[in-house]
Amino acid sequence: MKPKLEVKDLSYSYHELSGETIALSHISFDVRDGEFFAVVGPSGCGKSTLLSLLCGLLEPEEGEILIDGIPRAESGSVIGYMLQRDHLLEWRTILSNTALGLEIRDARRTQRARRSAWTRRLPDEESLRSLTAMLRAYGLESFRDAKPSQLSGGMRQRAALIRTMALKPDILLLDEPFSALDYQTRLEVCDDISSIIRTQKKTAVLITHDLSEAISVADRILVLSSRPGRVKAILTVAFGPDAAGPLKRRNAPEFSAYFDQLWKELKCDETSQ
């Protein structure tokens, strides 16, 4: 069976008047269908650049990205991208915010079909029913007509996840989506969102600088070296049946061993510079 996502010998550099900066150098890894895959590494190692390449915001200078064995640009797959901040629009209701991605997608389709100017196209009844069901499942149904300013940080992130999941992405990219939250809320929302992603059996790639967070959610963890980012190690994470969620994983006896292993990989990279 082919992996859901394959990255083969991927390299990327930024070019400026002052010179070339190599961000990533010959990166190779794969992500299985339904797998929760985390990427960690020191600041500036190219983690966010990697996500931009995976979603098509940047094009590789070398190497290729395959989805279900097909080049990303030709695959037709939907890639969802959840950012560090929720970017909810304050003048819209929560329901309207969660529908934004659908509106943009449908407006683009209409524009291409008619070769006409951009027009706002509201989601159809089936999409609205699906959004309402997700709001109910994620504990936000009673806030569907509220404005983002009326929600807590954790609730706003759940709304942002619904906005992303409404597009039914084949792969979900998470760029430190909990980093703007306070510590307690971060733990709670990480537990909620990772449980939702696993229940939906989505393939997810998480970028994080928090080693504990990576261990608490991931099936495997990719460790990148200092710039230029190279693959240092890929760690498989396995917990017993009693540690089914992130909060329970943090209290499991295996947790500290995985943390020490990741820490040694990163510290070894620092001392080799």
8 Å CB contact between 121 and 113: no
Q: Which of 203, 255, 224 is nearest to 31 (CA)?
A: 203
Q: Which of 67, 63, 74, 77 is nearest to 4 (CA)?
A: 67
Q: At what angle do helices 153-165 and 100-114 cross, to 10 degrees?
A: 30
* pLDDT above 60 for 242: yes
pTM: 0.87
Q: What is the pLDDT of residue 190?
A: 87
- Give, for 98, the enclosing helix (H) or strand (E): helix 94-98
Rounded CA separation 155/158 (Å):
5
Higher pLDDT among residues 94 and 120, named by residue? 94
Query: Which amino acid type is present at position 155?
Result: M
Q: What is the pLDDT of residue 241?
A: 84
Express each pLDDT in 217-226 by its tens digit: 999 999 999 8
Instruction: Tell me the domains of the chain and their CATH numbers.
Output: 29-77+170-273 (3.40.50.300), 89-169 (no CATH)
* pLDDT above 60 for 238: yes
Express each pLDDT in 169-200 by its tens digit: 999 999 988 887 888 888 888 888 888 888 88
* pLDDT above 60 for 45: yes
- List, in order, residues 6 or more apart from 268 with CB less than 8 Å away: none
Cross-strand partners of 12 = 24
Handedness of CA 242, 243, 247, 252 (dihedral sign): positive
8 Å CB contact between 207 and 239: no
Rounded CA separation 145/141 (Å):
9
Q: What is the mean pLDDT of residues 12-20?
A: 83
Handedness of CA 172, 177, 183, 189 (dihedral sign): negative
